[in-house]
Structure formats: structure tokens, C-alpha cells
Structure 1
Amino acid sequence: MASIVNVRLIEGDETSRTWQITTDETPLNLSAVTVTAIIKPHAGVEDDDDTAHHLSEGDGLTVVDAAAGKVKGEIPVAVTQAPGKWLYKIVVDLGDDTETAIWGYMQVADA
């Protein structure tokens, strides 16, 4: 199910991004799942590390269209103020299954 989507940002951006979660190219209905996002400095950092940013529904993450599988994430200012490459992933919890739906790198350009 995991799709790779890379994001490019400029240092200092105060922004959000909207992603569409799909399974077999069909939108995943998000009305019965839990969606979270994790943004961390690099792949060697554990998800529960203090340097990882966690977004959850109501705290930086919003399901904007459940039937269409669309979720919007507010990119933390701490990320956009730190030029470099960040690893992120959007994870869905389907009850018995937890899967990475989308992952990629957030490239923050120094400006």
C-alpha cells in the first residue's frame, strides 16, 4: 500500500500539505481508521525519539475528505526552520493492521 511522495519546502515556510491515501489505486475510506504522521531528521531516528514530530488527528493532522482518503498535515515550523532532508511517513491503523500508507523525504531548502 505504501506510496513514495517527496515534498520540497523552502526554509521558513509556514505551510501544510494534503495527501491522498489509496490502496490498489483506490482511495482508502478513512472514516474507520486512525491516521498519524511522523516526521524525523533521518531514517536512523526511531519513531519515538524526542527529535521526531508526531501529527495526529486534531493535533496537526486533519482528515479533509474521509471517503476520498484525503488527509492534510501542518508541517511543523521546527521542520521548515531546519534546512535539510527529513524523512516522513503517514501511517494508518486499521484495527488489527498498522501500515505505512505514504512515505518520502521533505527537502527543506536553505533560503
Structure 2
Amino acid sequence: MTGRQKKKLIITGIVLVLFLIGYSFIFRSYLDTDFYLEMAYAHTGYDPTIVDWRHPDYEIIQHKNRLAVHIIFFTTEDDTRGPIGLYIDPFRKEVFDEDPRASGGGSGQIVQ
């Protein structure tokens, strides 16, 4: 291996390491689960029927043609109304949609 090839290899390695560090930093700043959890819980108005707000189900999905963090809070009313599902835009850091739930009386009507 010539000196020129070694330089190219070293530069390529440095660029790759810097890229991975930058990607890791950006990825962590957009996917701060504690921030989204606090935001989602506040969006529910700190609903007292939520069983364990610190341990919801969540996933990263496409929803309405947008990348979204989907958080699902289980409640004491899951049998009658269903869980609380929220969609958070990780770039705007805001709740932009909710899963429908049945109304409070258990009548089976869907409220959006």
C-alpha cells in the first residue's frame, strides 16, 4: 500500500467516524423518549385513569405520510373506551393526531 492510499484510507476513516458521531447525536436529539413521554402525558391533561404513564407502549411509524412517535397509554377504561393513542411529530415536537376512543358512557360512539 502506497503512502497516498494510506492517506485516503485514513481520511475516509475519519470522515466515517465523524459521520457516525453526527448521526448518533441527531438521532438521539430527535428521539428523546423522556421528552415525548412528558409531552404526551401533559397532552392527556394528566388523565388519572392512565395506569402507568411512565411505561406506555410506543413505536416509530409513518402516520398520515409523516414520521411519528406513536405512544399508547393504557387506562382503567381500556375495556369500555380503549387506550389513549397519541402521534407525535419528532421534528416539530408536537402532538398532531390521536387514536379515536369511545365516549365516556361506554355507548360505543367514537370520539375524535
Normalised to the residue count of structure 1, the TM-score between the two structures is 0.32
Please identify the structure whose Cα radius of gyration is greater: 2
Identify, as 1 or 2, the structure richer in helix. Answer: 2
Question: Structure with the greater relative contact order (CA < 8 A, sep ≥ 6): 1 or 2?
Answer: 1
- TM-score, normalised with respect to structure 2: 0.32
More strand by share: 1
